Amino acid sequence: MFQLKSLPLQPEKVMLPLFVILLSSIAYLFDDSLSSTFIYQRDLVANGEIWRIFTGHIFHTNGYHYLLNISAVALLWALHGQFYNPRIYLLLLIISAVTSSIGIHFFSLDIHRYVGLSGVLHGVFIWGAFMDIKHKDKTGYILLFGVFIKILHEQFYGASEDVAQLISASVAINAHLWGAFGGFIIGIYSYCRK
């Protein structure tokens, strides 16, 4: 049974997920004045505005997109937060953001603008599944298999039209693929460490 006391409420487990939610909330509230400087735009990244590889992830297409993503941050924390520490979580966010953005930049030439945390969240999810496996929780295998099937399905059949309508944008399925790749790298690293 779910109990509040079973959640990982220690400050080192909570602070970075809350920080991601805070940054996303600020970006959402001040989108009109901030987005032109910070969202991922292919041509501007190619012209040296490298910070957009990181900052574009905290912006969203609309309120539904924002709520879906910050809810996922909270759910992933509830699911795997017991494994979080500031160093590994920050590394996980950075690597997943970089692999997601760089993957889009070089392999999804049709995407000129990108916003959202979903690519990064796929990386966080995969890392969490590896931590479950490392700590002898067999559900980690199910989670890893499930996200692998989801990504494979998206690659062959595309994303859900319902989600695309909800967020008022095309779902960047390759961001999911490349963000998951980042999570896989950190997952293997974390799994192999003592």
Residue of 96, 90, 73 lying closest to 18 (CA atoms): 73
| Nearest in space to 120 (alpha carbons), one of 93, 146, 81, 144 | 93
* Domain 10-192: CATH superfamily, name plus number: Rhomboid-like (1.20.1540.10)
Interatomic CA distance for residues 152 and 188, integer angstroms: 20
Q: What is the dihedral of CA 79, 16, 26, 129, to 10 degrees?
A: -30
Give 175's Cβ-side CA count (13 Å radius). 23
CA distance 132 to 92: 16
Q: Label each residue of 20-60 as H, E or C.
A: HHHHHHHHHHCHHHHHHHHCEEHHHHHCCCCCHHHHHHHCC
Low-confidence residues of the chain: pLDDT under 70? 1-5
Taking the model in full, what pTM does it have? Answer: 0.94
Q: Where are the domains of the chain?
A: 10-192
Confidence (pLDDT) at 84: 96
Provide the mean pLDDT of the chain: 94
- Give the pLDDT confidence score for residue 168 in this predicted structure: 83
pLDDT of residue 169: 86
Farthest CA pair distance, the chain: 52
Q: How far is CA 19 from the centre of its chain?
A: 14
